């Protein structure tokens, strides 16, 4: 993942918790309605669904995908295609959508299925026509970040301040939850000294123009997502191969 611009960082040791806490920051943000998908169509044991069950008949994307399947052209399926398209729009999505998409992709990457694992984690796969891998989409997002950063003054410092803010906010929220859940003196005694001061002294959000806030936070999330994928790939490399249940 170094080739995509992510450096190891031992400060954030729990990426899943980091994502969960950042999601709490996005409360009140405008949420986009997600299209409902029939997940039964993705089962390998079920018959191929009718085109009308997936999208409207006049959808050009559906027509092209149906033609590809009929002619034996490789096709990732509507579910993966939607996820990768959303990920490629990382800069334009609200924070909750980005967290949802990266969370789903992380869970899929953890699944011990060789073909799925290779599709999501292999960085040396030969490109196939009409098939985009996760690596190709991540490279595309990196190009967007680099192009955006060229026109921004002190962009690295802004991203660093945003990352520190999110990390401090995350730690404060976790400690605040511990305080709220503690109902006895014994429970309070195990909390670190100065917990209340930490929860009260959350640093203010960096001064980021509203039109750039999503993009700055998306850059932070992009780096954390790369770290998580690297950790998942490392876990797969040392874990023994286990048969996938039917």
pLDDT at residue 125, as a whole number: 67
- Cβ atoms of 83 and 101 closer than 8 Å: yes
Q: pLDDT for 150-195, tens place per residue?
A: 988 888 888 998 888 888 887 877 777 777 776 555 554 455 555 5
Distant-in-sequence, close-in-space partners of 42: CB < 8 Å, separation ≥ 6: 77, 79
Nearest C-alpha neighbor of 39 from the set 51, 52, 57, 54? 54
pLDDT at residue 153, as a whole number: 83
- Most confident segment among 10-14, 51-55, 130-134, 147-151: 147-151
* Secondary structure (3-state) at 238: helix
pLDDT at residue 76, as a whole number: 76
- Cβ atoms of 102 and 232 closer than 8 Å: no
Dihedral over Cα of 150, 151, 154, 155: its sign: negative
d(CA 137, CA 143): 10
Of residues 87 and 49, which shows the higher confidence score?
Answer: 87
pLDDT at residue 180, as a whole number: 74
pLDDT at residue 105, as a whole number: 95
Distant-in-sequence, close-in-space partners of 135: CB < 8 Å, separation ≥ 6: 122, 123, 125
- Which ranges of 129-206 does DSSP label H, i.e. alpha helix? 134-150, 155-181, 185-189, 195-200
Nearest C-alpha neighbor of 103 from the set 7, 215, 23, 4? 23
Q: pLDDT for 69-123, tens place per residue?
A: 555 556 678 899 999 999 999 999 998 999 999 999 999 999 988 888 888 888 8
Judged on CB neighbours under 10 Å (0-12, 13-18, 19+), 69 is middle
pLDDT at residue 30, as a whole number: 46
Q: pLDDT band at 33, cuts 50/70/90?
A: very low
Q: Break the chain into its structural domains and give their ranges.
A: 2-28+54-238
Percent of the chain with pLDDT over 70: 57
pLDDT at residue 196, as a whole number: 53
B/e letters for 145-178, b = 16+ CB within 10 Å, e = fewer, are beebeeeeeebeebbebbbebbbebbbbbebbeb
Of residues 11 and 98, which shows the higher confidence score?
Answer: 98
d(CA 88, CA 144): 9
Describe the chain by its helix, strand, coil percentages, rounded to 5: 60, 0, 40
Q: For the residues 18-40, what does the mean pLDDT come to?
A: 52
Of residues 36 and 3, which shows the higher confidence score?
Answer: 3
Q: Decide if pLDDT at 146 tops 90.
A: yes
CA of residue 120 relative to chain centroid, distance:
13
Q: pLDDT band at 45, cuts 50/70/90?
A: very low
């Amino acid at each position: 993942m170094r080739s995509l611009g992510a450096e190891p960082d031992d400060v954030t040791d729990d990426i899943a918790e980091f994502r969960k806490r950042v999601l709490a920051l996005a409360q009140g943000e405008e949420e986009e309605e997600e299209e409902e998908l029939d997940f039964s169509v993705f089962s390998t044991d079920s018959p191929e669904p009718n085109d009308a069950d997936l999208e409207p008949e006049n959808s050009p994307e559906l027509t092209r995908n149906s033609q590809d399947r009929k002619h034996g052209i490789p096709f990732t399926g509507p579910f993966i295609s939607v996820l990768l398209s959303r990920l490629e729009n990382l800069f334009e999505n609200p924070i909750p959508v980005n967290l949802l998409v990266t969370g789903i992709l992380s869970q899929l990457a953890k699944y011990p299925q060789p073909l799925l694992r290779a599709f999501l984690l292999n960085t040396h796969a030969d490109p196939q026509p009409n098939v985009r891998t996760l690596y190709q989409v991540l490279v595309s997002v990196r190009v967007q970040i680099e192009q955006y950063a060229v026109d921004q003054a002190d962009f690295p410092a802004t991203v660093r301040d945003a990352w520190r803010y999110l990390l401090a906010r995350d730690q404060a929220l976790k400690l605040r939850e511990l305080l709220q859940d503690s109902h006895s003196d014994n429970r309070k005694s195990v909390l670190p000294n100065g917990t209340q001061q930490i929860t009260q002294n959350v640093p203010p959000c960096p001064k980021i123009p509203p039109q750039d806030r999503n993009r700055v936070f998306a850059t932070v999330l992009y780096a954390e997502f790369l770290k998580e994928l690297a950790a998942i790939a490392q876990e797969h490399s040392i874990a023994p191969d286990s048969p996938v249940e039917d």
